[in-house]
C-alpha cells in the first residue's frame, strides 16, 4: 500500500546523536550583527548592571541553521505523516494561514496599541466570535484563554463567580466523568472546587443513575465533552443537563471533541451554559510541538458579564474593548493568543458554510470507517457507533501474548505512523484511541489498518522481544529508570540525585 499518510520513507532512520548547540560553540564565533551605535555614549551607573558577558553559545549562522534543520529532520509532524492520535484532532493545518498571520500589523502590533490604531485586529476577534458562537450555539465569547486548560479554568471561575453573585456559595462540587481528561479535575481543583467523579455505564456513557445520586444542593456544575472521551455521543445529554440545571448548577462543555459535531449539532442546544473550544484542534491551527493553542470561552447571554476581559464590542462605526461588569478578571497578560485566533479565522473563512456544515460529518465518516476496518484486527472497547474517534483494546493480546497497548504504539512508529493515544481514557484496559480527522484519505486509513494487522502478527511471533520496538528510528525505547535515578534537565552536570525514591 502506498498511502499519503505513511511516512516510512522518512530519513529519520539511524544516525549519530546530534550534538547540542552548546557543544557546537567555539569562543569568538557569532551569528548576530547590529548597526553601529548612532548616539553619543554615556556612562551607565546602575547597581543592577553586570560586569561580565552572559553565558550563551557562540556559533556561526550557518552552523546554527544546519543544527536546527537537522533537529527538524528528527521530528514527526502533521506535514510529514499520519497522526491517528485520539483526542488531539491532528488535522491538516492550511499553509495559507501562515501567510495571513505574517502580514505586517497582524504579526507586529504591540499589545498596548490603542484600539483606534488596531481596528483590523479587533475586527479579526469580532469576526471569529461570530463564527464561534454560531458553531457552538452560544451568545458571547472571550479570546483571553491561551489554551484549553486555561479555557476550562475560565469556565470554572465563571461558575464560581456566578454562584457567589447569587449567594450560592454552598455549591462547591464539580462533577467530572471518570473518563475525563486530566485537565478537568486539575482545573476544578485550581478554581477551588471539590471534584466528584461520575462513573461510566457499560455502553460507555455517563451513568445516569450514578449522576442522580451524586447531584445535590452542593452541586456547582458538571464538566462534560460530547462526544465523550470514548468517542460516543451522550444520547441522554438533555436529561443530563436538566438534572444539573434543576439543582441550580451550570453545565460546562469541554471542547476537546468539538470536531465531531461541527455542523451536526451544537452544545448550546444541548443545555450547555459555557463552552471552550480548542482552536488548535477543531480549527486547524498548528500544534507547534505542544503549543501555542487558544481556548476561547463562549457563554450564554446571562453569563456575558462574567467573561474575562476586555472583550471586543462592535459600536456603530468602530470596534472597542469592553470590560464585562462582573468579569472574573484577566486570564492572560493581553488578548490571548491573537495570531492563533487569526489562523482559526482564516480556516473558518476558507471552509465557509459548505465546509463547516459537513466538517463533523466527514470527521465522523473517517473515524467510523477506520473503526470498521480496525475492528477486524483489534476489538473495539464499545459496541456503539463512534463519532470522530474510537477506542480499541488489546487486553486479550496482553493476556495471551503479553502485548501491551504501549508495544503496539511503539511498533507503529517503525512503520511510518504516529502511535494512537494509549492508556486513555483511563477506564479502558490497554486502550488504543484513534482519531483520524477528516483530512486523511481512505487509502491512508486502509494502510493504517493493514499495518496494524502486520504488526499484531509480527509481535505474536515466537522469538519476538517486544522491548526492541521501535527498531528503525534514531533512538529506541527510552530507559524510564534513568531519569528517576540520574536526572539531567540541562546541559550542565546538574543531577537531581536526591529525588531518587
Partner 1 sequence: MFVPHSEIDLKKMFEELSISSLDDLFTHIPETLKLNDGLNVPPSLSELESISDFENLESKNTQNLICFAGGGHYDVYLPQTVKSLTMRPEFMTSYTPYQAEISQGILQVLFEYQSLICDLTDMELANASLYDGATSVAEAISVAINKTKRDNVVISNGFNPNTKEVVNTLVDRNKFNVNYVDLVDYLFPEDYVFSQDDAAFIVSLPHYEGSAQDLTSIVHNAKAAGVITICYADPSMLGILKSPGSMGFDIVVAEGQSMGSPLSFGGPTVGWFATRKELARLVPGRIIGESRDSNNTKTYVMTLRAREQDIRREKASSNICTNQTLNAVGSTIHLSWLGPEGLYEIGYQAIQKASYMKQLLSDKNFNVLNHTSSLREFLVETKKSAEEVILEMGSKGFLAGIKYDDNQILVAVTEKRTKAQIDNYVESLMEVDNA
Q: Does 207 bind partner 1 (CB under 8 A)?
A: no
Whether cis (ω within 30° of 0) applies to the bond prior to 292 is yes
Binders of partner 1 among residues 111 to 150 (CB under 8 A) are 111-114, 116-121, 123-124, 131, 134-135, 146-150
> Residue 42: CB partners within 8 Å, gap ≥ 6?
none
Position among 2, 11, 47, 461 found at the interface with partner 1 (CB under 8 A): 47
Measured CA to CA, the distance from residue 231 to residue 86 in angstroms comes to 9
- Among residues 92 and 322, whose Cβ is nearest to partner 1? 92
Measured between alpha carbons, how far is residue 127 from residues 97, 284, 308, 346 in Å? Answer: 16, 17, 18, 10
> Residue 352: CB partners within 8 Å, gap ≥ 6?
none
Q: Are strands 250-255 and 219-224 parallel, antiparallel or unpaired?
A: parallel
Binders of partner 1 among residues 371 to 400 (CB under 8 A) are 372-373, 384-385
Q: Does 440 bind partner 1 (CB under 8 A)?
A: yes
Q: Does 237 bind partner 1 (CB under 8 A)?
A: yes
Q: 3-class DSSP state for residue 142?
A: strand
- In this structure, what C-alpha cell is assigned to residue 222? 458538571
Q: Does 48 bind partner 1 (CB under 8 A)?
A: yes
- Among residues 244 and 328, whose Cβ is nearest to partner 1? 328
- Among residues 45 and 315, whose Cβ is nearest to partner 1? 45
Q: Does 338 bind partner 1 (CB under 8 A)?
A: yes
User: In the complex, what is the shortest distance from the CB of residue 469 to partner 1, in angstroms, rounded to a whole number?
Assistant: 9
CB of 145 within 8 A of CB of 193? no
- Among residues 95 and 209, whose Cβ is nearest to partner 1? 95
Q: 3-class DSSP state for residue 275?
A: strand
Binders of partner 1 among residues 6 to 45 (CB under 8 A) are 12, 17-18, 20-22, 29-32, 34-35, 37-42, 44-45
Identify each DSSP E strand in 172-218 by its residue range. Answer: 173-177, 194-198
User: In the complex, what is the shortest distance from the CB of residue 215 to partner 1, in angstroms, rounded to a whole number?
Assistant: 19
Position among 54, 301, 315, 462 found at the interface with partner 1 (CB under 8 A): 54
CB of 249 within 8 A of CB of 263? no
The binding track of 395-434 with respect to partner 1, each residue x by CB under 8 A or -, is --------------xx--x----xx----x----------
Q: Are strands 140-142 and 297-299 parallel, antiparallel or unpaired?
A: antiparallel
CB of 129 within 8 A of CB of 136? no
User: In the complex, what is the shortest distance from the CB of residue 399 to partner 1, in angstroms, rounded to a whole number?
Assistant: 25
Closest CA to 220 of 256, 187, 182, 259: 187
Q: Does 240 bind partner 1 (CB under 8 A)?
A: no
Q: Is 389 exposed, middle or buried (0-12, 13-18, 19+ CB in 10 A)?
A: buried
- Among residues 68 and 399, whose Cβ is nearest to partner 1? 68
Q: Does 335 bind partner 1 (CB under 8 A)?
A: yes
Residue with cell 488596531: 118
The binding track of 150-189 with respect to partner 1, each residue x by CB under 8 A or -, is x-xx---x-----------------------xxx-xxxxx
Near partner 1 by CB under 8 A, which window of 242-250, 286-294, 389-397, 455-463?
Answer: 286-294
Q: Does 69 bind partner 1 (CB under 8 A)?
A: yes
Q: Is 427 exposed, middle or buried (0-12, 13-18, 19+ CB in 10 A)?
A: middle
Q: Does 368 bind partner 1 (CB under 8 A)?
A: yes
Q: Does 439 bind partner 1 (CB under 8 A)?
A: yes
- In this structure, what C-alpha cell is assigned to residue 16? 549519530
Q: Does 269 bind partner 1 (CB under 8 A)?
A: yes
Position among 192, 383, 400, 500 found at the interface with partner 1 (CB under 8 A): 192
Closest CA to 388 of 56, 90, 29: 90
- Among residues 404 and 410, whose Cβ is nearest to partner 1? 410
Amino acid at each position: 500500500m502506498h498511502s499519503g499518510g505513511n511516512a516510512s520513507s522518512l530519513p529519520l532512520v539511524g544516525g549519530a546523536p546530534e550534538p547540542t548547540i552548546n557543544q557546537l560553540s567555539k569562543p569568538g564565533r557569532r551569528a548576530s550583527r547590529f548597526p553601529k551605535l548612532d548616539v553619543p555614549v554615556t556612562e551607565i551607573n546602575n547597581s543592577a548592571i553586570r560586569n561580565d558577558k552572559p553565558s550563551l553559545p557562540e556559533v556561526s549562522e550557518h552552523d546554527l541553521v544546519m543544527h536546527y534543520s537537522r533537529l527538524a529532520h528528527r521530528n514527526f509532524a502533521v506535514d510529514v505523516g499520519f497522526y491517528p492520535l485520539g483526542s488531539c484532532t491532528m488535522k491538516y493545518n492550511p499553509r495559507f494561514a501562515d501567510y495571513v498571520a505574517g502580514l505586517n500589523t497582524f504579526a507586529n502590533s504591540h499589545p498596548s496599541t490603542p484600539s483606534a490604531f488596531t481596528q483590523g485586529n479587533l475586527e479579526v476577534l469580532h469576526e471569529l466570535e461570530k463564527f464561534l458562537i454560531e458553531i457552538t450555539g452560544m451568545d458571547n465569547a472571550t479570546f483571553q484563554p491561551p489554551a484549553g486548560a486555561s479555557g476550562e479554568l475560565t469556565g470554572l471561575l465563571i461558575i464560581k463567580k456566578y454562584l457567589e453573585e447569587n449567594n450560592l456559595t454552598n455549591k462547591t462540587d464539580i462533577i467530572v466523568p471518570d473518563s475525563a481528561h486530566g485537565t478537568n479535575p486539575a482545573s476544578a481543583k485550581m478554581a477551588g472546587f471539590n471534584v466528584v467523579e461520575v462513573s461510566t455505564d457499560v455502553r460507555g456513557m455517563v451513568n445516569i443513575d450514578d449522576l442522580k445520586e451524586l447531584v445535590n444542593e452542593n452541586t456547582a456544575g458538571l464538566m462534560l465533552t460530547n462526544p465523550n472521551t470514548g468517542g460516543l455521543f451522550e444520547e441522554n445529554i438533555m436529561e443530563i443537563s436538566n438534572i444539573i440545571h434543576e439543582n441550580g448548577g451550570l453545565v460546562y462543555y469541554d471542547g476537546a471533541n468539538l470536531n465531531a459535531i461541527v455542523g451536526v449539532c451544537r452544545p448550546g442546544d444541548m443545555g450547555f451554559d459555557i463552552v471552550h473550544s480548542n482552536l488548535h484542534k477543531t480549527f486547524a491551527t498548528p500544534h507547534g510541538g505542544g503549543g501555542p493553542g487558544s481556548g476561547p470561552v463562549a457563554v450564554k447571554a446571562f453569563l456575558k458579564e462574567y467573561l474575562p476581559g476586555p472583550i471586543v464590542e462592535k459600536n456603530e462605526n468602530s470596534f472597542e474593548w469592553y470590560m464585562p461588569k462582573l468579569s472574573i478578571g484577566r486570564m492572560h497578560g493581553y488578548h490571548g493568543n491573537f495570531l492563533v485566533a487569526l489562523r482559526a479565522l482564516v480556516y473558518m473563512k476558507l471552509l465557509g458554510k459548505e465546509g463547516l456544515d459537513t466538517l463533523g460529518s466527514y470527521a465522523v465518516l473517517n473515524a467510523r470507517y477506520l473503526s470498521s476496518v480496525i475492528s477486524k484486527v483489534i476489538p473495539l472497547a464499545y459496541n456503539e457507533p463512534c463519532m470522530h474517534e474510537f477506542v480499541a483494546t488489546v487486553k486479550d493480546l496482553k493476556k495471551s501474548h503479553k502485548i501491551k497497548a504501549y508495544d503496539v504504539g511503539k511498533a507503529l512508529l517503525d512503520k511510518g505512523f504516529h502511535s494512537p493515544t494509549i492508556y486513555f481514557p483511563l477506564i479502558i484496559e490497554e486502550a488504543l484511541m484513534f482519531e483520524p480527522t477528516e483530512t486523511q484519505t481512505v487509502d491512508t486509513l486502509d494502510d493504517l489498518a493493514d499495518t496494524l494487522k502486520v504488526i499484531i502478527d509480527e509481535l505474536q511471533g515466537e522469538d519476538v522481544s517486544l522491548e526492541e520496538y521501535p527498531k528503525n528510528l534514531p533512538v529506541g525505547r527510552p530507559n524510564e529508570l534513568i531519569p528517576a535515578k540520574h536526572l539531567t534537565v540541562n546541559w550542565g552536570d546538574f543531577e537531581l540525585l536526591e529525588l531518587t525514591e
